[in-house]
A = this chain, B = another copy of it.
């Protein structure tokens, strides 16, 4: 029922999980409706949490019958600022990009690669998954807002500066660096591989949980 206040960060992360999940249900020609309980069970969270989360977006559930899949997917996408497919750029060596898209198929999640970029001269002319790898300098022309970054650690500061110059505000950072030089106003999500491995070392054997993350949420 579209709460006026902005959803908190953990909620936004779950909303994007619902978006992925509902998108898959639609592709699978599943029943036309889902209940908060279904979502909750599949994603391992409480059903009250699902309803509370959905209260931030503009969708009407039907008491007794749940939510219409199509409406829910559209509304989630609208809230997340995704118009149809989410376009994003990726930066890294050609071999990193190839390895990455071997484990992550954007089309499976309703996403689309808007451009591939490398800062290595030897990657000039390379192609990954049928797409040309361009020099990083050209990223400004991509018109993209979100970027996945997996370059060598010593290049991170330069790449962030280049992304900032290209007016890219949002970056998902896979390369682990302790203290990157953070351009003003840029929103960077860090996947801290070493930190997460270390914190796993300490964890008592129990059920799952996420990143993100912090940010990550489960």
Contacts and interface: CB of A to CB of B under 8 A. Distances in A.
Interface of A: 6, 9-10, 12-13, 15-17, 19-21, 24, 42-43, 79-82, 86, 88, 92-93, 95-96, 98-100, 102-106, 108-109, 111, 145-146, 148, 150-153, 169-172, 174-176, 178-179, 182, 185-218
A146 B150 CA distance: 22
Contacts of A218: 190, 214-215
Contacts of A206: 185, 187
A193 B20 CA distance: 11
B96 A199 contact: no
12 contacts: A16-B196, A96-B103, A103-B175, A170-B205, A187-B200, A189-B212, A210-B212, A212-B212, A212-B214, A213-B214, A214-B218, A216-B216
A195 B10 contact: no
Contacts of A19: 198
Given A146-B201, A201-B170, A195 B103 contact: no
Q: A interface, by DSSP: helix, strand, loop or mixed?
A: mixed
Contacts of A211: 189-192, 210-216
